[in-house]
Amino acid sequence: MIEKVQAAVDYIKKNISEIPDFAIVLGSGLKKIVDEVDDKIVIPYKDIPYFPISTVQGHGGDLIYGTIEGKKVLIMSGRFHYYEGYDMQVVTFPIRVFGVLGIKNVILSNAAGGVNSAHKVGDVMLITDHINFLPEHPLRGKNVETWGPRFVDMSQAYDKLFLNSAIDFCNSNAIPVHKGVYMALSGPTFETPAEYGMVKVLGGDAVGMSTVPEVIVCRHMNMRVFALSVITDLGGSDLEFPVSHEEVLEAANVAMPTVIKIVRQVIKDY
C-alpha cells in the first residue's frame, strides 16, 4: 500500500505546479463545485496509478486541480464507497495520497438522509461529530507509523476553526444552516423507517454511506477536516416517504448555491 500510494503521489506531482492548500471530496450530485475552479487541470482517475474508479451515478471520475479564492485546491469529483465492493483501504486510498502529497486541509461533502425534525429536503448541515456504524474500520490492520499513530484521538475530528468560520459566515449573511451529527451506515439500500428511527435515538441528525472513513484517515494523518451534508431525503419511524437516487441528486442540485458559498468562505478564511 505504501508503494501504491507513493506511485499515485508521484504521478499527481508531475501534473500540478504546487502542493494544494485544500483537498475537496464531492458527494452525490455535488459536482458543480468544479465550476468554481479557475485555471483547471483535469487528471482522470484512470490515469493515476492504483487509483480506484467510481461506479455510482452522480459521481465523476477526475481529480481537478486549480484555484478557488486564490488558494490551490485538488478536488475529487466522485468518491468511493464500501458498498461498491471496495475494502476500506481502497475507499480511503485518495486520502492517503492527499496526506503523503502534503495537503493539510480537507473539505468533505455528502448527500444524507435527515432525521432531525428541523430538517427539510435541500437543507445544509455542518457536521460537528459522527457515529461510525460501518462494518469495517479503515485503520484495521498493521499501522504505518510514518502515516500516523496506532491509536488516533477523535475527540475533535471536525476542525472547530473551519466550523466556526462557516457558522459565522452563514449567520452574517442570513444563510439557513444546521449543525449536527452524521451517522454512517454501509448501504447501498436507503434506510427503513425503523432504521431512521434508530439513527435518531442514537444521537444522529443525518445518515449516509460515506465520509466517516475519510475523516478517520484524515485525522490519522493529522489533516484538518471540514465536512457538510446536503439533506436529500427525510426519514423516521413515523415517516415512510419513498426515496430514489434520482431524487437525491435533484435535492443536492437545489442546495448547490449554499454549498458553494460555504465552501468558498472556508477556503477564503484559511
User: Higher confidence at residue 256 or residue 56?
Assistant: 256
Fill in the DSSP letter of residue 236: B
Handedness of CA 183, 185, 191, 196 (dihedral sign): negative
Dump pLDDT digits (tens) for 5-51. 999 999 999 999 999 999 999 986 677 889 999 999 999 999 999 99
Among 66-70, 76-80, 126-130, 174-178, the range scoring the smallest mean pLDDT is 76-80
What ranges in the chain are assigned the alpha helix state H?
2-13, 88-91, 93-101, 160-172, 193-201, 212-220, 245-268
Cell, residue 182: 452524521
Q: How far apart are CA 221 and CA 215, in angstroms?
A: 10
Q: What domains are defined for the chain? A: 2-268 (3.40.50.1580)
Torsion of CA 67, 265, 148, 140, to 10 degrees: -100
Q: Quick one: pLDDT at residue 233? A: 86
Q: What distance in Å separates the CA atoms of residue 76 and residue 59, rounded to the nearest whole number? A: 9
Q: What is the pLDDT of residues 58-74, one digit of tens each?
A: 556 899 999 999 999 99
Which string of b and e fits 12-22 if b means at least 16 CB within 10 Å? beeebeeebbb
CA–CA distance, 217 with 219 (Å, rounded to integer) = 5
List pLDDT tens digits, range 168-187.
Answer: 999 999 999 999 999 999 99
Residue 250 exposed, middle or buried by CB count within 10 Å (0-12, 13-18, 19+): middle
Query: What percent of the chain has a predicted confidence (pLDDT) above 90?
Result: 80
Assess whether pLDDT exceeds 70 at residue 243. Answer: no
Query: 3-class SS at 252?
Result: helix
Cβ pair 27, 230 in contact under 8 A? yes
Q: What is the tens place of the pLDDT at every residue in 186-206?
A: 999 989 989 999 999 999 999
Q: Are 80 and 214 in contact (CB under 8 A)?
A: no
